[in-house]
């Protein structure tokens, strides 16, 4: 079972909507792409929350590049984030793999919306 992910906040703490974003397979929550979107959404009045999947957290600690976690771990990590933030007013999504996994759990998590900042919606192959 993955540990509770650390959350990085941008934007307005009292925004009417919270947008939670997960990173893609190859770059973490503070990549230039993720920074651009989090900052831009925050400047438009949203509360933005970013997090990393366990494999990316481990990569930061060890410096060793690892492949992404298997889908059940990615899904469970997303559900933990949703539980931490609460569902009301919550929009989830992310870049590439982060958006794809968010799309897989959006109904189960009963969130208010989904935003995908990249593809694919299907794993390679």
Average pLDDT taken over every residue of the chain: 92
pLDDT for the residue numbered 122: 64
Q: pTM of the entire structure?
A: 0.90
For residues 37-56, average pLDDT:
95
pLDDT at 123 over 70: no
pLDDT for the residue numbered 113: 96
Q: Which residue has the higher pLDDT, 19 or 26?
A: 19
For residues 68-76, average pLDDT:
96
**Which pLDDT tens digit goes with each residue over 105-120?**
999 999 999 999 976 6
| Percent share of the chain, pLDDT over 70 | 93
Fold of 8-116: Rossmann fold (3.40.50)
The model's confidence at residue 15, banded by pLDDT at 50, 70 and 90, is confident
Cα separation values, 60 from 30, 34, 57, 100, Å: 11, 16, 5, 23
CA separation for the pair 58, 93 (Å, rounded):
22
In the chain, where are the structural domains located? 8-116
pLDDT for the residue numbered 16: 81
């Amino acid at each position: 079972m993955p540990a509770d992910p650390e959350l990085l906040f941008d934007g307005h703490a009292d925004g009417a909507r919270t947008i939670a974003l997960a990173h893609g397979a190859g770059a973490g929550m503070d990549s230039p792409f993720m920074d651009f979107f989090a900052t831009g959404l925050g400047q438009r009045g949203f509360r933005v929350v970013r997090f990393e999947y366990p494999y990316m957290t481990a990569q930061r600690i060890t410096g060793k590049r690892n492949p992404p976690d298997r889908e059940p771990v990615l899904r469970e990590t997303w559900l933990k984030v949703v539980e931490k933030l609460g569902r009301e007013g919550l929009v989830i999504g992310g870049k590439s793999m982060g958006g794809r996994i968010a799309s897989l759990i959006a109904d189960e998590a009963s969130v208010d919306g989904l935003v995908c900042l990249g593809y694919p919606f299907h794993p390679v192959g």
